[in-house]
Each structure stands twice: as C-alpha cells, then as structure tokens.
Structure 1
Amino acid sequence: MDELVQRLSEGKHPVEVGLRPEKTVTAFKESIDRGYVYIKFTQTRGGTELGVQLDEKACNFQTTNFEQATGTAHIEGDLTLNYVKVRCIADINLPTLTGEGNLEPVTEVTVA
C-alpha cells in the first residue's frame, strides 16, 4: 500500500477545511451543498489537500448550525489518492473549520 495512504489510515490526524478565496463557514456550507469539499491533512510535508466527493448518506450535520457557526460536521466521501481508492472521514468543528480525520482504504468488491 502507498506510504501516505497507510500513514493517514492509522489513527486520527489534524485536518482543516480547504477553502478559497476565504475560509468561512458560509463557503464550507456552499461546498457541502455542491457535494464536494476539500480537506487538508496538515501534518504531512507541506500538507495534503484532498478533494472529497461527499457520501450524503454517511455525512451527519445534525449537531451543526451553519447560521451561528456552531457544532461539528461529520463528513465522509470517497476519492483516489496515489492510485489507491480511499474513504475520507472527518469531523469538522464549525467555529474553527478544523478537526480530525483519517482515511480508510476501500476494498473493491469483485463479482465472479
């Protein structure tokens, strides 16, 4: 398995939401509404920013209030990193737009 994928699959890691041009809760909510967010693992060399296609059924926004910028957003989605299919799982604290997350390798189901 790829070294970066393996490292980010072991335990929880500090993450932040990747937003441009400005890092706001409103911009984060707009990304969620589009179904695609950027999550940056901050403790890799230079940071590793991943574009995540959200799995709406696995995400949880019940404890979030985007208008008041409170609560924690649980996001999950799939992507390919260094030719390895992975699921990114992150809990984002809305007031800071930071949190913790990890990757899980996705095993392909083959039909015989």
Structure 2
Amino acid sequence: MDELVERLSVEGQEVMVGGPSPSVGEFQRRVTKMGYVFIKFVATNGGTDLGVRVDEARTDLSKADFANGTGTAHVEGTLTLNYVKVRCVADVDMATLSGTGHLVALEAAHV
C-alpha cells in the first residue's frame, strides 16, 4: 500500500476543514449543496488537504448546528490519493472546524 495512504489510515488522525476559505458557512455549503469538501490531515509535512466527494448516505449532519457553530458533523466520502481509491471518514467539531479522521483503502494502488 502507498506509504501516505497507510499513515493516514490510522484512526484518530487530527483533521481540520481545509480549502481556500474554511468557515462554518462554507463547510455547510460544500457538504450540503456542492457535495465536495476539503479535509486537511494536519500531521503530515505541511498538511495534506484532500478534496472529498461527499457520500450523502454515510454522512450524518444531525448533530451539527451550522447556524450556531456547535455540534459535530460526521462526513464520509471518496477520493483517489496516490493512485489508491480511498474513503475519508472525519468527525468535525463546528466550533473549531477540527476533529479526527482517517482513510480507508478501497483497493490496491494502480500505477
């Protein structure tokens, strides 16, 4: 397996909302309307900002209060990282736009 994918597959990685202008409103718009969100794994050299296609069936926003910036959003989605298809799983605290997450490899690398 790819070394970066393997490192980010360990549960409990520190993550934060990434992208050009992270805010609660932008995060909500990306998750609910665009279906594409940026999740940044901060423990890598310089951080690894991943663009994730949101899986609506596996994402749970019922505990997130976007209007008040409280609660937690559970976001899952897919992407390809270093030729490996992966699922990103992240729990994001609305107050800090940070939380924990990890990757799950869906298949082996195709190079």
Specify the TM-score bucket, using the shorter chain as the normaliser: over 0.9
What is residue 20 of structure 1 aligned with on the other side?
20
One-letter code of the match for 1:105?
A
1:69 aligns with 2:59: no
In structure 2, runs of 5+ residues without a counterpart are none
In structure 1, runs of 5+ residues without a counterpart are none
Could you tell me which amino acid in structure 1 is paired with residue 102 of structure 2? N
Q: Structure 1 residue runs of 4+, over 3 Å off? A: none
**Structure 1 letter corresponding to 2:62:** Q
**Bigger Rg over Cα:** 1
CA deviation after TM superposition for structure 1 residue 15, in Å? 0.3
1:12 CA displacement = 1.5
Query: Residues 19 and 28 of structure 1 are in contact (CA less than 8 Å); yes or no, is this contact kept in structure 2?
Result: no
Scaled by the length of structure 1, the TM-score of the pair is 0.91
Query: What's the % identity of the aligned pairs?
Result: 50
1:18-97 matches, within 5 Å, as 18-21=18-21, 23-32=22-31, 33-97=33-97
Cα distance between partner residues in 1 of 2:6 and 2:19: 26
Alignment of 1:97-112 (within 5 A): 97-107=97-107
